[in-house]
Amino acid sequence: FAVLEKRDTVGSFWKTFPRFDELISINKSVRNETQRFRYDWHSFLESDLGMLDVTTDYFPTGREWHRYMDRVVHETPGLRERIEFGVDVERIASDGTPCLYVKGGGKRCARKRVFVGTGLKLKDEPYLRAIGGIPYSEATRERAMNQRVCMLGNGNSGFDLAQNLIPVADRVTLYGRSPHRLSTVTRYTGDVRVKYLQEISYSSHQSGA
């Protein structure tokens, strides 16, 4: 197999996101080996290196997750040689054999299958700019200092921003298409995690004020 990577390192997404670095996925050591992967959401199954070798934090950071992936690449025999860095794939086409056409000319063809993992694609939102808003990728505490902040979206990313901006913003309000759902209630890990209950409590008191 071969891996084509646009950046100069694996997992570069995690060097920038989440905006305030802390992940929602847990990293916990347990004695019961059969339950280990219920509490370790990061370690690669085929690697001898575990996330706990990088950090013992219960909620690790995106940068620590990136550092773990980088170590796996460089410490797993033969893996680094299979990754081509700085390759920008522009399109994929197939005439019996799937081929990837790269920027600057040239192509790479696979025998059977191509797996795509593109990560987050940043795009400009004209309607957001028109009302003086900024995208998630540009949110900082400095920009929220003493401001009334309105956020569109009440998923984990929205709550992550809100919880980190509450200490510096004058007021933080979240808007969503539907009421937020707590993962502790739905048992779905993609719903709002319990670590953001602090922001939910703040919002409840604020609404009742």
Concatenate the DSSP letters of all residues of 81-138 into one string: GGEEES--EEEEEESSSEEEEETTS-EEE-SS-------------HHHHHTT---GGG
pLDDT for the residue 200? 66
pLDDT for the residue 123? 76
* Residue 182 reports pLDDT greater than 50: yes
Helix/strand/coil for 192: strand
pLDDT for the residue 206? 59
* Residue 202 reports pLDDT greater than 70: no
Mean pLDDT for 54-61 is 93
Concatenate the DSSP letters of all residues of 133-158 into one string: ---GGG--HHHHTT-EEEEE--SHHH
> What six digits make up the tokens of 119?
């990560």
pLDDT for the residue 62? 93
Question: pLDDT digits over 127-168, tens only?
Answer: 888 888 888 888 999 999 999 999 888 899 999 999 999 999
Question: pLDDT digits over 65-104, tens only?
Answer: 999 999 999 999 999 999 999 999 999 998 888 999 999 8
Mean pLDDT for 22-44 is 84
Over pLDDT 90: what percentage of the chain?
A: 47
Q: What angle do CA 82, 88, 92 make, to 5 degrees?
A: 90
